[in-house]
Amino acid sequence: MKKRLVLLGASGSIGRQTIDVVLQHPDLYEITALSVGRNIAELKRILSEVSVKDVCVIEEAAMRSLQEEYPDIRFCCGDEGLLRLAEMDYDLLVNALVGFAGFAPTLRAIETGHDVALANKETLVVGGELIKKALQQYGRKLYPIDSEHSAIFQCMQGNDAKNIKRLIITASGGAFRNKSRDELADVTAAEALAHPNWSMGDKITIDSATMMNKGFEVMEAHWLFDMDYDRIDVLMHAESVIHSMVEYIDHSVIAQLGAPDMRLPIQYALSWPDRFELHQDEPLDLAKIGTLHFAAPDTDRFPLLKLAYDTGRKGGNLPAVMNAANESANAAFRKGIIPFLKIEEIIIGAVNSAEYKEIRDVDDLLEADAWGTAYADKIIRGEE
């Protein structure tokens, strides 16, 4: 029987690669419903390739015109539409949404009895505690799609989690890894978007350049693998060949390596505990690559990595504030409104200015998100 998938964020980088994996295995998987944002042209291309029953878009006007053009598909829209897809009848939610928007559909999917393959790291960064409680309450599983967390998940197979000594998350360092802080003062968004190893969406590529992304991954690993922050290390590794590692109590280190191709972690999230063939243009060839480099991370050079550890340890509303400030600052930098180093100034300012509050429910999260956004937007407006 085919595994029935609901795919949120189908037109993004992870979404399109998820579709590619499904098309490589039409006997194993089918996408029964999907969402896109505003990229209606890409949606139409997708609908020519895959046959789905339900589609969600952001805007109501787009929904109406699509409903006329595709009478056999049920359309819905907005945040409510995403929740509707999350609670349907299917086997696995693939959440490839970007940003805080990914949180609510993840929670709804778990609460309505679904497992989730999660590419949206903000879900766990902002609401890890709520998600963890829901997973326990509803007896569901989360499969990581991030390459680092998929690597850790793969390195944990066949091992008892109690025997893990620490997780080692590798970090390429992003587009500016060879620049000093002085040189970072006037880098542009176009430079930041040229990631040395991975082809990804714009938001995450900027997050890589600031290393906010690596900080998010540390927090994500904390929740996914129930691991203290003291037992999660970051290791600079320029080539991104080792995607991450697990060190066990006997000092054995298990690592997962591969080509920089997100289809592998996507497929593993679908195929676990089994594996299936995956066509790749350039599988890993270590003899050809020749050399791998490693170094300890410099948290003075990358203060947002340290901030993520500190904020993750404090918990409560602060991770959501940090994430909201990052979303605003990241977008403002991409629009050319603020310089690169202003991103971290805004995020650090937001976290330091916020009053600690506990997170009891989604409303508390929304409040923290709104507070972080308002703090960042005020500074960004001052720069305009």
Closest CB to its own copies among residues 163, 188: 163
Nearest distance from C-beta of residue 217 to its own copies, angstroms:
18
Q: Interface with its own copies includes 17 (CB under 8 A)?
A: no
| Among 337, 342, 336, 330, CA closest to 188 | 336
- Cα-based angle 344, 58, 198 (whole degrees, multiple of 5): 45
How long a stretch of residues is the chain? 384
- Cα-based angle 106, 329, 203 (whole degrees, multiple of 5): 50
Q: Which residues pair with 6 in a beta bridge?
A: 33, 93
Nearest distance from C-beta of residue 254 to its own copies, angstroms:
6
Q: Interface with its own copies includes 382 (CB under 8 A)?
A: no
Give the SS3 label for residue 117.
strand
Nearest distance from C-beta of residue 255 to its own copies, angstroms:
5
x-marked contacts with its own copies along 206-235 as a string, rule CB under 8 A: -----------------------------x
Q: Interface with its own copies includes 19 (CB under 8 A)?
A: no
Closest CB to its own copies among residues 182, 274: 274
DSSP state of 295: B
Q: Which tokens hold the place of 302?
A: 């990358």
Largest CA distance in the chain: 62
Q: Give CA–CA dist 218/221, Å, rounded.
A: 5
Q: Interface with its own copies includes 250 (CB under 8 A)?
A: yes
Size of the site for its own copies (CB under 8 A): 51
Identified binder of its own copies from the candidate list 176, 268, 309, 371, rule CB under 8 A: 268
> Would you say 170 and 255 are in contact if contact means Cβ atoms under 8 Å apart?
no
Q: Interface with its own copies includes 236 (CB under 8 A)?
A: yes
Q: Give CA–CA dist 136/143, Å, rounded.
A: 14
Q: List binders of its own copies among 274-333 (CB under 8 A).
A: 274-278, 280, 283-284, 286-287, 289-296
Nearest distance from C-beta of residue 264 to its own copies, angstroms:
6
Q: For its own copies, which stretch binds (CB under 8 A), given 82-90, 193-201, 214-222, 263-271?
A: 263-271
Beta carbons within 8 Å of 39's beta carbon, 6+ residues apart: 11
Closest CB to its own copies among residues 230, 384: 230
| Among 81, 80, 67, CA closest to 33 | 81
Q: Please give the residue ranges that form the binding site for its own copies (CB under 8 A).
A: 154-160, 163, 168, 235-237, 242, 245, 247-259, 261, 264, 267-268, 271, 273-278, 280, 283-284, 286-287, 289-296
